[in-house]
Amino acid sequence: MLAAVVHGPADLRVEEIPEPRCAPDGVIVQMAFGGICGSDIAYWRSGISGTAELREPLVLGHEVSGTVAEIGPEAAEGLAARGMEVGTAVTVHPATLVGAHEVPASTSARANLWPEVRYFGSAAFLPHEQGGFSSHRAVRADQLRAVPAGVSLQEAALAEPFGVALHAVQRAGDLHGARVLINGAGPIGALAVVAAHRAGAAQVIAADLSSAALDIAARLGADEVVDISAGQALPQDVDGAIEASGSPRALGGVIAAVRRGGVLVQVGNLPTGEVSASLGGIVTREIDYRGSYRFVDEITDALAAMAEGVDLTPLITHTFPLADAEEAFAVAADRATGSSKVLLALG
C-alpha cells in the first residue's frame, strides 16, 4: 500500500509499505483523509519535532479519518455494542499509553500527561509509532471514535486538532462572559476561537500576522481580529488568552494584554531549548501561565460539537491526493499560500 514516509530532513517519499495485518483484538481502518499538522511539517523540514528526533523512516499523520475495513474476532462484540461494524465512518484517538508507572492522584485522570505515550506519526520512541498517512492502518478497537451522521470524513479529520483546541480552552478555566484573546490564528488558534465561544466567552479576539488566517478566524466566529502586520495593537485587559503562535517574541505582548490576575494558556509549541522571552509581567501582573498538551478525550467532544452543527469547513483550504504529499507539505508550510488546514486524500 502507499504511504507518506519521511526518511530525513527534506526527504518525504510516497512509497509502498506492507499492508497491515488485523490482530484478533484489533481493527483495520481504510483511511480517507489526513490533516497535515505542524509536527508533521517539523519532521519533514528538520527531522525533529519538539524533543523527538527521527531515527528511522516514519509514516507521518495523526489527524485522520476513514472507515472500518476489517474487525478482529475478539473485537467484534465490543464494537457492535458501540454501534460500530465494517463500513462505519471513524476517526482515531492517536495515543497509546505504555509502561507501568505510578502517577500522582492529582494527574491520574489526565492521560495526556502519562510518562510514556506513543502517538501516531511520532519519533519519540524507538521503534517509532507509525502514523496514518497511508491507505490502511491497524488500530486498537478502543482508539476508534464513530463519526456522527451528517459529519463528513473531511470534517472528521479535524476532530483531533479541534480536541487540542478544546483542551487548551478548558485549561483556561471558567470563561463564561469573558473577553478572550487568541494569539496566532493558524489551525489550532482558529479552532480555539470556536472552542472559546463554546466555553461561554462573550467576546473572542483573534490576532495574527496573516490577513488570510484572520479571515478564517472571523469565519469561524472571531468577534474582532487584530492584524499585527498592519501595526494594529493587541487588546488590553482581556480575562484570558490562548497563545497558539508558539513565538517567544509574542509572549511579552500577550502577557501585557491579559488583565491582572488573568490566565494565559500556552498551546503553541515553543522552540526546543533556551528561548528569549519577556516574562516579567507574569510576576507583576500575577498572571497564571499554564501549559496545554494534546488532549485527554476531547476528540470525542469535538465530534459531538460537529454533530450539533459546528461548521469547521472554513479551516480546510487545500486537499491533495496522497501521491502529491510533497506538494501538499510545501503548501501547508508556506503561509503565503493562504493555507490553513491542508488535507491529504488517502483513499
DSSP per residue, 270-314: PPSS------HHHHHTT-EEEE--S-SSHHHHHHHHHHTT---GG
Task: Give the helix/strand (H/E) hosting 43.
Answer: helix 38-46
Q: Are residues 62 and 93 in the same domain?
A: yes
Cα 285 to the chain's mean position, in Å?
A: 30
Q: Are residues 254 and 324 in the same domain?
A: no
Q: Are residues 134 and 271 in the same domain?
A: no
The pLDDT of residue 137: 98
The pLDDT of residue 277: 86
SS3 state at 127:
coil
Asked if the structure places residue 101 within a domain, the reply is: yes
Q: Are residues 180 and 149 in the same domain?
A: no
CA distance 142 to 111: 14
The pLDDT of residue 127: 96
Q: How many domains does the chain have?
A: 2
The pLDDT of residue 272: 78
Query: Which residue, 60, 87, 91, is CA-closest to 157?
Result: 91
The pLDDT of residue 139: 98
How many Cβ atoms sit within 10 Å of the Cβ of residue 172? 26
Enclosing domain of residue 249: 162-291
List 89's β-bridge partners, or say none: 67
The pLDDT of residue 307: 98
Q: Are residues 149 and 169 in the same domain?
A: no
Q: Are residues 108 and 210 in the same domain?
A: no
CATH code for the domain in which residue 123 is found: 3.90.180.10
The pLDDT of residue 149: 96
Q: Are residues 39 and 148 in the same domain?
A: yes
Q: Are residues 140 and 176 in the same domain?
A: no
Its pTM stands at 0.96
SS3 state at 163:
helix
Q: Are residues 122 and 261 in the same domain?
A: no
CA distance 142 to 213: 35
The pLDDT of residue 347: 86
Asked if the structure places residue 138 within a domain, the reply is: yes
Q: Are residues 89 and 38 in the same domain?
A: yes
DSSP per residue, 54-82: --S-EE---EEEEEEEEE-TTTHHHHHHT
182 CB contacts (<8 Å, ≥6 apart)? 189, 190, 192, 193, 196, 204, 205, 206, 207, 217, 222, 241, 242, 244
The pLDDT of residue 142: 96
The pLDDT averaged over each successive group of 10 residues in the chain (347 residues) is: 97 97 97 97 94 96 98 97 97 95 90 93 96 98 97 98 98 98 98 98 98 98 97 97 95 97 96 85 96 96 98 98 98 95 96
Q: Are residues 57 and 202 in the same domain?
A: no
The pLDDT of residue 163: 98
CATH code for the domain in which residue 283 is found: 3.40.50.720
Torsion sign across C-alpha atoms 162, 166, 172, 175: positive
Q: Are residues 76 and 215 in the same domain?
A: no
